[in-house]
Amino acid sequence: MVQIADWLKRIISLIIVAGFLELLLPNNSLKGVTRLVLGLIVIMFLMQPLTQLFNIPIDLITVATLSAPEIEVTPTPVTDRLITEGEKLRGRWESVFVAKNFQGLETKIKKIITLIDEVELEQLKLEQKNGQLERMVITVKSKNEQQLTPAFQAKIRQEICKMIAVVSDLNITPEQIEVNWNE
């Protein structure tokens, strides 16, 4: 009887802790995974009396920390071909992803520059190497020809660099951004 009371106390404590942890979690994709793990732990504790009844030795710590056994795969022509095809497919998907990412970045930058009242965008060129942005060349034209002083150009360049740094998740330094003026 004492064992059943102890087991019930542990189960109730575990469910309370699991509920508290669930309340602390943000509403994102990890919530489902965490609920699954907590549910499995509760099930393991619920099954503990059955394992003791049938004399099945289960150490919960050992079960929770088990890792999958390593499987040794001997290379064959079929597996080599499969790996080669998989790498080619990954390369194609990566190139499509990089192209779409750069298209989206180009669209964002064009919209940013239209927010600057004093200039209008003439040309935008993104130079990439191995899927990484190497340099950005922006050609702008002043809407007011009288304002085309070096101080004005420096101010606009600084404004463009700040805005690009804010909206892009890339680590673009101002040295990678070249602003040319079309007069």
Same-domain check for residues 151 and 101: yes
Q: What is the CATH number of the domain that holds 132?
A: 3.30.70.1350
Same-domain check for residues 98 and 176: yes
Residue 163 burial (10 A CB sphere; 0-12, 13-18, 19+): middle
Sheet arrangement for strand 177-181: 119-129, 132-142, 177-181
| 25-61 CB burial, b ≥16 within 10 A, e <16 | eeeeeeeeeeeeebeeeeeebeeeeeeeeeeeeeeee
Give the pTM: 0.50
Q: How many domains is the chain built from?
A: 2
Q: Where are the alpha helices (DSSP H) in 25-76?
A: 29-53, 60-64
Same-domain check for residues 54 and 100: no
Same-domain check for residues 57 and 101: no
d(CA 153, CA 181): 8
d(CA 1, CA 56): 20
Same-domain check for residues 103 and 57: no
Average pLDDT over every residue of 41-59: 75
Measured between its terminal Cα atoms, the distance across the chain in Å is: 92
- Residue 55 lies in domain: 2-64
* 89 within a domain of the structure (yes/no): no
Task: Note the pLDDT of residue 61.
Answer: 61
* 79 within a domain of the structure (yes/no): no
Task: Note the pLDDT of residue 59.
Answer: 62
Could you tell me if 112 and 163 are in contact, meaning their C-beta atoms sit under 8 angstroms apart? yes
Where does a domain end: 64, 84, 111?
A: 64
Same-domain check for residues 105 and 26: no
Count of alpha carbons within 13 angstroms of residue 125, beta-carbon side: 8
* 80 within a domain of the structure (yes/no): no
pLDDT in tens, 122-167: 888 888 887 778 888 999 888 877 677 888 888 888 888 888 888 7
pLDDT in tens, 64-102: 555 555 666 677 888 888 888 989 888 888 888 878 888
d(CA 101, CA 95): 10
d(CA 58, CA 53): 12
Q: Is the Cα dihedral 132, 172, 155, 114 positive or negative?
A: positive
* 57 within a domain of the structure (yes/no): yes
Task: Note the pLDDT of residue 62.
Answer: 61
Residues of the chain with pLDDT > 70: what percent?
88
Q: Which residues contact 38 (CB under 8 A, 6 or more apart)?
A: 18, 21, 22
Same-domain check for residues 167 and 102: yes
